[in-house]
Chains A and B, each alone.
Chain A
Amino acid sequence: MASMNMIQALNSAMDIMLGRDPSVVLMGEDIGYFGGVFRTTEGLQRKYGDNRVLDTPIAEGGIVAAAIGMAVNGLRPVAEIQFADYIYPGFDQIVSELARLRYRSAGDFYAPVTIRTPCGGGIRGGQTHSQSPEGIFTHVSGIKVVMPSNPYDAKGLLITSIEDDDPVVFFEPKRLYNGPFDGDPHKPAVPWSTHPKGQVDEGYYTVPLGLADVVRSGSQLTIATYGTMVFVALAAAAALGVDAEVIDLRSLVPLDVDTLCTSVKKTGRCVVAHEATRFSGFGAEISSIVQEQCFWDLEAPIQRVAGWDTPYPHAFEWEYFPGQARVSTAIKAVMESA
């Protein structure tokens, strides 16, 4: 085991896969010689060569399309989209091509492409470097959608995603790259070296897709969340002194409905929290599933915590961010309905 932040853990996953599987190639803007704007691919081109770690033109549609063609020809590309906010020029290639190829060719052709992309706010990124568009992709049939919340999961989930024969869009909450974040930007940053999930096996291991992680067991309510909001939810529940069961979904497609609904049936209360905008967000899907499957066990209406339905503003980042205050309001609402 070694102490790693999320960037180092992701780098380790790609390092291991480049070493294990000669068909794995990395591609993206600034990822090769420079090692990526977040340093996630640092050193990998030096180690594996410029034909395994490819710098690309600034054309996300071209990156995804080329990755599809490479995958059809037997490679296993891991394409980085520098910010999730930049993924839209590649959207048609993801939705109409990557997601559908296996289906439309009845399994004769498929493209095992992993698209990594940093998402979320809290880094003074303004409206073009802060978005969480995962719900746009969970709505598409044929792609898997993953978002880790810590270094250990990030590495294991990325290895699983690269090995998966289906396409995966892998969101990396960049506020969590360097440490767990409880939603308070004024407190000193906490490094991953102080957290158990910052202890990462240096070798090969996997974390399966479609398996949620119960990061805190509790009896009074269930908080279903993922990504940046995991530690915010834990902190908010602790501050209120409620015995919350906090579930880190980790993979949105496929979704671990069993862990989620088993928990809600036990606690009878549910808060859903994500950083993405609220209206038609993935939280609506979780809320619906819980309502459909756990209605007779619910003691209170399900509450959603999310970013406001506005673009992510530069000047009002922390008023926008669904911090502990917003989570607390939701927790109180489900507790008071008793």
Chain B
Amino acid sequence: MNKHSRLHLPSPPSRPGEKPDFSYVHLSAAGAVARPDVNARVRDIGSLSTELVRVLDDAHEAVGPWHPHLDPEELQVGLRHMLLTRLYDDRMQRTQRAGKISFYMRSLGEEAVSVAQCMALRPGDMLFPSYRNQGLQIARGIPLVDLMCQLLSNTRDMCKGRQLPVMYHSKAGNIFSISGNLATQFPQAVGWAMAAALKGEDHLAASWIGEGSSAEADFHHALLFASVYQAPVILNVVNNQWAISTFQGYAGGEQRSFAARGPGYGIAGIRVDGNDFLAVYAVTQWAAQRARTGAGPTLIELVTYRAAAHSTSDDPARYRARDDQEHWPLGDPIERLKLHLIKLGEWSEDRHRALSAELDALVVASWKEAVTFGTMTEGPKLNADLMFEDVFKEMPEHLKRQRAQMRAEKG
């Protein structure tokens, strides 16, 4: 027993130059976690928030009660979306390095989160993404050209040049505007879901934040309102272990899983292998069925690893071991689904290479098209008058005066 109180300062298990150590990540064996009925009471399924739902085992077989039994064609679509997400990220990262866009954020290693979750939901379900959910855009079929035009703030930018790159939205695709402020959209998703329930619709809302931003009050407001009104919402914490340089321990992840916040608020919490496409799909499907059958909201913690830098402005070699991701115990989501499909006899390395080449060509062709709508330095430009529009529905007099002054300044 200590004679004095003590202050605990969370620290990641390894820093640059040290041996990566992920022994702190609690794992369950593939197939080991029971799958409760979708209408199970929260008090009866508390263990889901501390165990780890996994379907793909080390031999790349799908095992256990969470096996979603998807057709091979669906798995191939999932693989395609994940691969396209990665190739898009890779090209856009290099485009930023070449100075052609100002900023970019990759989702390397986290592709299964967005793609599998999106595929487990319906087109009418409203998605409130974070900035690392480009897989949602791709799985919802938003054309790459549209995404690229946003990155370029060009004449076809859906945000009319008002947002930092990657803050996409799609009204037609039911993908909400990404704020750029952290966690703010989490309780908004709950409000959206409350309205859906009030109107008697069976659409649900889903939102994503990182484990780091679960520290924000908005996270707690979201869980509270979801619990109080039993809103049809899926709240996802993507635990990729790092918030820029801040280790997940500083969001409170050392003492209790993030999924365990769910039962604390009286809503289902479930922890899933975020790099296991099948497990992510199955857990999301389960949560969606709960929402649609009046069984209430679900908090899903997707355990994954941010294999890349936070953004193009970040250098993780300054705060974590350089080869960290190679030791990540849950592997790579694309590799794992690929090997599963090969095991099923529904895929091959040759087909994978061919698909990669096809998708990379699509990215390159899309970029060529996107730049015809303008780049940061060349081609058509947005009219600066747009700056004054959409502040209000109708432009008030003082903004009209300021617009006139801005025009005069430009000469």
Residues of chain A touching chain B, judged by Cβ–Cβ distance below 8 Å, are 25, 51, 56-57, 59, 61-62, 65-75, 89, 92-93, 96-97, 100-110, 141-142, 144, 164-166, 210, 253-255, 257
Contact = CB atoms under 8 A, between A and B. Distances in A.
A56 B227 CA distance: 12
Given A89-B217, A165-B393, A65 B162 contact: no
Contacts of B198: 25, 51, 70, 75
Interface residues of B, number: 45
A97 B190 contact: no
B126 A73 contact: yes
B199 A74 contact: yes
A142 B390 CA distance: 8
Nearest to A95: B181
B376 to A, nearest CB: 19
B169 A105 contact: yes
A65 B188 contact: yes
A162 B111 CA distance: 42
B3 interface: no
A61 B221 contact: yes
Interface in B175-197: 176-177, 179-181, 184-196
B354 interface: no
Interface string B249-287: 000000000000000000000000000000000000000
Contacts of B160: 106
Contacts of A210: 396
A108 B177 contact: yes
Interface in B113-165: 126, 158-160, 162-163
Given A103-B390, A108-B177, A165-B393, A66 B196 contact: no
B397 A257 contact: yes
A266 to B, nearest CB: 20
Question: For B177, B224, B389, B398, which residue has the most chain A Cβ atoms within 10 angstroms?
Answer: B177
Nearest to B231: A66
B398 A57 contact: no
Contacts of B393: 102, 110, 164-166
Contacts of B392: 102, 142, 144, 166
A77 to B, nearest CB: 8
Nearest to A72: B192
B390 A57 contact: no
Given A104-B159, A105-B177, A255-B398, A70 B195 contact: yes
Given A25-B198, A97-B188, A66 B159 contact: no
Contact of A65 (B158, B193, B218): B218
A193 B217 CA distance: 45
A110 B188 CA distance: 12
A165 B391 CA distance: 12
B42 interface: no
A68 B218 CA distance: 13
A216 B344 CA distance: 85
Given A73-B196, A106-B158, A106-B159, 12 more contacts: A57-B228, A66-B188, A69-B205, A72-B126, A72-B176, A96-B181, A97-B179, A97-B185, A104-B159, A104-B179, A106-B162, A106-B390
Interface string B190-225: 111111101100000100000000000110011011
Contacts of B185: 97
Contacts of A25: 198
8 nearest CB pairs, A to B: A69-B191, A62-B221, A66-B191, A65-B187, A73-B195, A69-B192, A69-B188, A105-B177
Contacts of A66: 187-188, 190-191, 194, 221, 225
A165 to B, nearest CB: 5
B353 interface: no
Given A65-B191, A96-B184, A105-B177, A57 B162 contact: no
Contacts of B195: 69-70, 73-75
A67 B180 CA distance: 19
Contact of B391 (A59, A69, A102): A102
B4 interface: no
B167 interface: yes
A124 B208 CA distance: 44
17 contacts: A57-B224, A59-B225, A65-B225, A66-B188, A68-B188, A69-B187, A73-B126, A75-B198, A75-B199, A93-B187, A102-B391, A102-B392, A103-B390, A106-B158, A107-B389, A109-B171, A109-B177
Contacts of B163: 104
B192 A104 contact: no
A165 B194 CA distance: 20
A22 to B, nearest CB: 9
Question: For A25, A101, A106, which residue has the most chain B Cβ atoms within 10 angstroms?
Answer: A106
Contact of B169 (A67, A75, A108, A164): A108
A89 B224 CA distance: 15
B120 to A, nearest CB: 21
Question: For A59, A73, A110, A166, which residue has the most chain B Cβ atoms within 10 angstroms?
Answer: A73
